[in-house]
Structure 1
Amino acid sequence: MSGVVGDSRSKPAKVADALRDAIDAGEYPEGKLPTVRELAAQFGYASQTIRDGLAILVSEERIASAGNRGYFVAAPDSKGGPRRKTGPSDEIKEMRLQIQELTERVAALEARADSGGA
């Protein structure tokens, strides 16, 4: 998987792009990525370059670091896409949306019950 001649992207960006594509293609169904050492051998890059590429994916919340246990694919969001939360305010917004959806469902069920249906 080493770089293509004329490719101006940095090595960490190439690592991140290749791993992002592999994650999107479902190549890590168990969620565990190969070790830094294994990825370094696979890409032919230094371990620090691999860690820098992994850091890009961590910052995008595509993967999570579990310290000495390695890196894992982050759980997708409720729509099946990668998680893209930036903090507590995004979590609160998501909870509000979920509450609103549930409130609307309850209101529809109550209206149907009041009208003699179901």
Structure 2
Amino acid sequence: MSPAPESKQDRRPPYQHAADELRRDILQGRIKPGEQMPAIRELQERFGVANMTARSALNVLRDEGLIYTIHGRGSFVADTDAAGQFSADYTAPAWYLANRDKRPGQAEYEEGRPDDTDAAGTTLVEMLTELRDEIRVLSAEHQELRREVEELKSQQSKSQS
């Protein structure tokens, strides 16, 4: 009897398979900290999955602390510390799979930041993660503004010469 095709042997959901592949790319350094993750459309083509399946794979990595998302710009690999380790809120995939249905306010993360009325139910780690993500967004916006200012200065100096 011939072995089953590879897709039959892999019983993981497609989003988990995609998340595992992307996690491997990140941990092996093929996608470095600060680099942008592939676009949803690229993930759809690479893994042969639907839009929501690709988004679910990124959600897994975001929940693990490996990536962060800036609305309107994409997802990026999280920074590492001096030892090359990811942030303290990184959790192993086994933990995520065991506890994903027990997390309070899971639907809130799909829509964005939770309302202040729900803040009483959030943990300190969740609040710190939200603050870190907000700081990253502000930092990205700050860098973009600095580039625009430099371009304007450059244009002004060219026009004066």
Aligned to 1:57: 61
Describe the SS at the equivalent of 1:81. Answer: coil
How many residues are treated as equivalent by the alignment? 89
Q: Does 1:70 align with 2:74?
A: yes
If asked which structure has higher relative contact order (CA below 8 Å, sep 6+), I would say: 1
Which structure dedicates a bigger proportion of its chain to helix? 2
Which of these two proteins has the greater Rg computed from alpha carbons?
1
1:6–1:70 distance in 2 versus 1, CA, 3 Å = same
Q: Does 1:87 align with 2:125?
A: yes
Mind listing any 5+ residue stretches in structure 1 that lack a counterpart?
A: 92-118
Structure 2 length as normaliser, TM-score?
0.49
Mind listing any 5+ residue stretches in structure 2 that lack a counterpart?
A: 1-5, 90-123, 130-161
CA separation in 2, counterparts of 1:76 and 1:54? 18
How far apart are 1:81 and its partner, in Å? 1.3
CA separation in 2, counterparts of 1:68 and 1:50? 17
Aligned to 1:35: 39
Aligned to 2:22: 19
Percent of aligned pairs sharing the same letter: 31
RMSD between aligned residues: 2.4
